[in-house]
Amino acid sequence: MTIRVTFRPDNHQPPVIQTPLPTEHAHTSTPATEQVGVGRIRKHNLSSIEKDKEKIAEILDELESFIGLVTVKRLIRDLQAYVEIQKRRAQEKLIAEPLVLHMIFRGNPGTGKTTVARLVGRLFKEMGVLQKGHIIECERADLVGEYIGHTAQKTREQLKKALGGVLFIDEAYSLARGGEKDFGKEAIDALVKAMEDNKDNLVLILAGYRQEMEWFLQTNPGLRSRFPIHIDFPDYTLDELLAIGNLMLKSRQYELTPEAQGALRFHLQNLLNTHPYAGNARLVRNLIEKTVRKQAVRLFQKSSSSREELIQILPVDISLEET
């Protein structure tokens, strides 16, 4: 039985595979019935295409809603354009570039690397690049074993889980810290092999501090060429950190008074001046959670509280202690 592959003109969809009806049905069906059936198939396909377009638009809207990350957003949209154009070229039977989409994410903790990796998996699924689009997050302990042969086994297990999606390895540079005799090298070798064997159904993202990741790539000359996409995640500015804090509070139905807004700005500025990696969302989240707890302790001392009091955050609720 012949299976026909139709490349649809819409660029958000993979080819449509149409399997003809069995022979006995073909003899008994009238041309009119066949035309109706084809019409239904086309209508169904069109509906599916529109739904996938909407999903891609929703994912990109979510990306744009992230505070900051201007360069990251642009690079993700560039990737989307690159993938779509290669699909168009393939449809026109032109030479298309191979879709090697393994990435290096460089930046301090809390700058959005994991969040963006999850979004990338979902986007590539809707674009037909990945079958599942899920993400498996792991680190050295999940890949490196304690004896010869154990590392390859553990690494293969993580790779198997990630097939059809994204394998995200945080602090990836730690795999090379032990030198030639360290089991981490065995994990790297297994990852490199898997990248070749599953290049059409796996995206590998290595993440970590900027300088450490640069050192990591230098330890293995073959790694850099296997990761053509490098994305730097900058630290957040003071205004971006304030916006993140306000968004976190709003999502929990809290609100800063004007005075508390000034107090939060003052504390965040102090943190940026005294901590080398303070410009990240994780630190803001810790500060907001501590602030909410302090507000609860303050209100708990009263026998009752108004709705406005339960919502408002005052300057006294904001503190740098133990943050």
If asked whether residues 70 and 184 sit together in one domain, one would say yes
Are 272 and 312 in contact, with CB atoms under 8 Å apart?
A: no
Are 228 and 78 in contact, with CB atoms under 8 Å apart?
A: no
Count how many Cα atoms sit within 13 Å of the Cα of residue 3 in the half-sphere of its side chain. Answer: 4
If asked whether residues 229 and 273 sit together in one domain, one would say no
Distances in whole angstroms, Cα of residue 87 to Cα of each of 8, 9, 82, 90, 121? 11, 10, 9, 5, 18
If asked whether residues 150 and 293 sit together in one domain, one would say no
Domain residues for the domain of 201 are 66-233
Could you tell me where the DSSP H helices lie in the chain? 23-28, 31-65, 70-91, 113-126, 140-143, 150-162, 184-197, 210-219, 221-226, 238-251, 258-274, 281-300, 307-311
If asked whether residues 242 and 103 sit together in one domain, one would say no
In a domain, 113, yes or no: yes
If asked whether residues 70 and 126 sit together in one domain, one would say yes
For residue 1, count CB atoms less than 10 angstroms from its CB and return exposed for 0-12, middle for 13-18, buried for 19 or more: exposed
Return per-residue pLDDT of the chain as tens, 323 residues: 444 444 444 444 444 444 444 444 444 443 443 343 434 434 445 567 778 788 999 999 999 999 999 999 999 999 999 999 998 999 999 999 888 899 999 999 889 999 999 999 999 999 989 999 999 999 999 999 888 789 989 999 999 999 999 999 999 999 988 766 678 888 998 998 898 889 889 999 999 999 999 999 988 778 888 999 999 999 999 999 999 999 999 999 999 999 999 999 999 998 888 876 766 888 899 899 999 999 999 999 999 999 999 999 999 999 766 54
The CATH number of the domain holding residue 73 is 3.40.50.300
If asked whether residues 205 and 305 sit together in one domain, one would say no
- Give the residue from 173, 204, 233 where a domain finishes: 233
pTM above 0.85, yes or no: no
In a domain, 323, yes or no: no
In a domain, 59, yes or no: no
Kindly give the pairing relationship between strand 135-138 and strand 229-233. Answer: unpaired
If asked whether residues 216 and 308 sit together in one domain, one would say no
**Total domain count for the chain?**
3
- Give the residue from 203, 233, 263 where a domain finishes: 233
Backbone angles phi, psi at 285, to 5 degrees: -60, -45
For residue 292, count CB atoms less than 10 angstroms from its CB and return exposed for 0-12, middle for 13-18, buried for 19 or more: middle
Structure tokens at 96: 């298309």
How far is Cα 157 from Cα 259, in angstroms, rounded to an integer? 53
If asked whether residues 173 and 95 sit together in one domain, one would say yes
If asked whether residues 103 and 218 sit together in one domain, one would say yes
Structure tokens at 171: 């602090």
In a domain, 136, yes or no: yes
The CATH number of the domain holding residue 293 is 1.10.8.60
